[in-house]
Structure 1
Amino acid sequence: MVKIITSFLCLIFLAFSTVHGEPQDTCKKLKCGDKGPAVHFPFSLKGRHPDHCVFPGFVLSCNEKHETILELPIPFKFPVKSIDYKAQAIQLYDPERCLLVKLLKVFNKSISPFHFSKDHMTDLTLFNCSLAERQLQERVPCFNGPGYQVYSVPSSYSIEVLPLLSCTKMYNRSSVPYYSNDPDNLYLEWSEPNCGQCEAKGKKCRLKNNGTKSEIECVDFSQAGTKRKWVATGASLGSFVVLLLVVAAYRVYSSDRKEKANQLKIERFLDDYRALKPSRYSYADIKRITNDFKDKLGEGAYGTVYKGMLSSELFVAVKVLNSSKGDGEEFINEVGTMGHIHHVNVVRLVGFCADGFRRALVYEFSPNGSLQDFISSPDNKNSFLGWDKMQDIALAIAKGIEYLHQGCDQRILHFDIKPHNVLLDHNFTPKISDFGLAKLCSKDQSIVSMTTARGTMGYIAPEVFSRNFGNVSYKSDVYSFGMLLLEMVGGRKNVDSATENTNEIYYPQWIYNLLEEGDDLRIHIGEGGERKIPKKLAIVGLWCIQWHPVDRPSMKAVVQMLEGGESLTVPPNPFASTGAAGTNANTAARNLNIQLEAIPELE
């Protein structure tokens, strides 16, 4: 019965399309393949559209791969990726990935009736470098030879800051339609025929009857006279049939068993959706998601964060990166690192935007802000979450860092663990965020080579500043986590008000002194058994901030310490330089004789 009704509905729709489309619009939409762009006026497909649909210079063709090809008055043919008829813009791509080389060969030649998009123009300087040069990133594909490679650099860059010891400047080129962040795509626009306003009104553009070969007119094909009555009659009949089908479908699928099956299907779909790779958005999408950047959440050195909405129930945080800051390394790190991370305690990267020089990152939204908001004012009981919750948060952060160190295909070193980079969702579940300084290294190695210090002052491990303390490794994240734990216990630089010269006291050392003297920690908050939790967090934090990396536990051991009992021993004093602590320092120095070979960072 259902098959019969479905077949009848298909016949109704077929009749609709015949009556509605029969008439006037003979310049219909065509495609070269299933995935190709829709081709209609002013464009036409060679041999498939009638002559009256052809506008000079806008002829496309299909190749043997079912790609849509635009033939320009230059010795190169480019497949068409998309056509925006309202904006009068077309996007081409180079499957050979040699776009810049081809553009340089036809530099300043006419591509009429098209012109290059002004939004995708840049000034470039080309350098001929030896193959030993590895510090420049913008390598020009297909432009190399025996012993050399060509690199492109924006002409606005100061030559004093570029690593060009083994490079020779070739030449400058102004207004080149090429961006290294989008190296395979070419954007063109056209002014004539001007059909954009017509398309925006939902009408169709076509050559004017009895006019010249370039005169156009805007026509509303929906007004079809008598045939429109047939369409209205068919629409009424079709609506009635659809209504019958809806009633029948409701009765068939209204049982509890079917309803539960549908709900389970939806839940599985949402689970699969959360595991997908990040989506790529255009800059227009970013503006729509953020409602034209209406709700600003915060601002940092590399960009501004706005609240956005993907749907009525799914909110996101959109970080729009400053185009004047850096060379895109933070953007590459975030997308490359977070695209394959899926952990409950690591913030999820929903998508990203790389639209020319505009870059943005789209994260899941954490309505309770950062952990910093709940530990920066320890005397304010209204912002304190309680020691049980603080212990849960500390353990969850530790599990997130352990996942970064051991749970991925490559070891991920964050290098900026701090309360400000730990976000809290609606259940106060912590999410590690901001991977702009992260580094990848091989999972079976533990040490990375670094040329400059990275991180936030107060959380940077000593070895990041000086190799006298040891090599830089995953233990650097352990140190930062230890400082975070101590800050959760004592509040930021929180010391007893009776202590003199409090501004000169290093607060981790103050916490160690309290433990050594047997005093209670933060006794103004919490009663009874709650006093054991800050003591545990303090001891674990002090183990994590030992000066030498070999004396710090791994994150796996940290998780075990936080999950375990209360029988934790206080570590050696990391702040003393004489006496018993000096002996401990000597022991640590002897342990440093067992070194791992430094390995390079992965690209």
Structure 2
Amino acid sequence: MLAPMSMFIFLAHKYWKTRIAIDAVEKFLRMQLMLGPTRYAYTDIIAITNHFRDKLGEGGYGSVYKGVLLPGNIHVAVKILGNSNCKGEDFISGISTIGRIHQINVVRLVGFCAEEKRRALVYEYMPNGSLDKYIFSFERSSYWDKLNEIVLGIARGINYLHQGCDMQIVHFDIKPENILLDNNFIPKVADFGLAKLSPRDNSFVPMSAMRGTIGYIGPEMISRCFGPISNKSDVYSFGMLLLEMAGGRRNSNPHAESSSQAYYPSWVYSQLSRQEVSEIGDAVDMHELEKKLCIVGLWCIQMRSHDRPTMSEVIEMLEAGIDGLEMPPRPFFCGDDHVPEADSYYMPSEMTAISEDVEDTYTSSEMTAVSEDM
């Protein structure tokens, strides 16, 4: 008799804990109806996506489908979250933060669905997809006309996350695949699955695990000897993105003919440092905007986090002329024979902790945006 009774108690306890979690989410979501994005029933999601007919992409966090909102025929992207990626506190956390952001360079959360463990996110649709489709294939002669606008838009979006919200949001996964482009090629920062929320006056962000994409991840994420983890980690990632946009190629190219050209940050630093600072404008055979972006990018990827500028300072440098920029110190990894590997690794949850201690900052507080490869 003890075995069946123990099993019954175990199952009852598990059901009780599940119901408490679901009830907490439900209570919060009812309060959100007048404050944030629209809540949809799952049957609405089926109708919006026309029974999930047009699939845009799939990744570790779920599948993304194109949909249409009626009335108005407004195109949206709908992300269906897998059951393993639906932690209640993270789902709540994102809706109360990203759900209230209306900034031109951050992808907007239009609505959500939460019925038991079936959850979905509805975002504005980005018809031109992600930035990586263009920066490595653009015709260079026409690329420069739009490049400066795209770069400034990305920088302003990240700076808004750091400074424009009640709580600072550190993205932790800035890369070309997570920058989406609307029909006018206005960039939008997307995919907040690894982001973390912390008070704006905090100079560092407490972290229990490394997160991000190798090749864009700040060195302090690997070793604290490079400084504390903070919003400067996003600055590093933005710097690596900036260099890729300037060069029109991946920073790391193990198939390059010579080791000196295999790692673009190293190559460009060597080329620019041949001239005195006052002669940067007359340095190697580069487009002037490429030179400026490279100099700003090299400032952003300084190894120690306190040596990097803030995103607001980055914007000032991007808006200034090249003559007003100083050459940064050499990042110590920029040796001719250094070719870092560039691999991505995936995190276990779409809603991985905007804050692992979110209850300490919000009593009840969805982050994510649509990236084409999700």
By the TM > 0.5 criterion, same fold?
yes
Cα deviation per residue 1:309-364 (whole Å; 9 max; x = unaligned)? 00243110001111134745664453233022121111110011111111111001
CA contact (8 A) 2:301 2:308 kept: yes
SS of residue paired to 2:211: coil
Q: Does the alignment pair 1:376 with 2:133?
A: no
Quote how far apart the aligned CAs of 1:469 are: 0.6
1:409-488 equivalences under 5 Å are 409-488=166-245
Cα deviation per residue 1:219-276 (whole Å; 9 max; x = unaligned)? xxxxxxxxxxxxxxxxxxxxxxxxxxxxxxxxxxxxxxxxxxxxxxxxxxxxxxxx96
Quote how far apart the aligned CAs of 1:180 are: 4.8
Task: Give the distance between the partners of 2:92 and 2:180, measured in 1 at CA.
Answer: 21
Task: Give the distance between the partners of 1:294 and 1:328, measured in 2 at CA.
Answer: 28
Task: Give the distance between the partners of 2:250 and 2:68, measured in 1 at CA.
Answer: 37
Corresponding residue of 2:290: 534
SS of residue paired to 2:111: strand
Task: Give the distance between the partners of 2:334 and 2:63, measured in 1 at CA.
Answer: 44
CA contact (8 A) 1:302 1:322 kept: yes
Task: Give the distance between the partners of 1:315 and 1:478, measured in 2 at CA.
Answer: 32
Corresponding residue of 2:315: 559
Quote how far apart the aligned CAs of 1:506 are: 2.1
CA contact (8 A) 1:543 1:571 kept: yes
Quote how far apart the aligned CAs of 1:575 are: 2.9
1:236-385 equivalences under 5 Å are 277-311=36-70, 312-325=72-85, 327=87, 331-377=91-137, 381=139
Quote how far apart the aligned CAs of 1:179 are: 4.0
Matched residue type, 1:289: I
More helix by share: 2
Q: Percent identity?
A: 53
CA contact (8 A) 1:375 1:487 kept: yes
Matched residue type, 1:308: G
Corresponding residue of 2:366: none
SS of residue paired to 2:23: coil
Q: Which runs of 5+ in 1 are unaligned?
A: 1-124, 127-169, 187-274, 522-530, 579-598
Cα deviation per residue 1:408-466 (whole Å; 9 max; x = unaligned)? 11111111111111111111111111111111111112211111001111111011111
Matched residue type, 1:342: H
Query: Highest Rg: 1 or 2?
Result: 1
Corresponding residue of 2:23: 183
Matched residue type, 1:324: S
Corresponding residue of 1:173: 12
Bigger relative CO (Cα 8 Å, ≥ 6 apart): 2
SS of residue paired to 2:327: coil
* Change beyond 3 A, Cα 1:373–1:490: same
Matched residue type, 1:537: L
Aligned alpha-carbon RMSD (Å): 3.2
Task: Give the distance between the partners of 2:14 and 2:231, measured in 1 at CA.
Answer: 45
CA contact (8 A) 1:410 1:443 kept: yes
* Change beyond 3 A, Cα 1:480–1:399: same
TM-score, normalised by the number of residues in structure 2: 0.77
* Change beyond 3 A, Cα 1:498–1:296: closer
Quote how far apart the aligned CAs of 1:385 are: 5.2
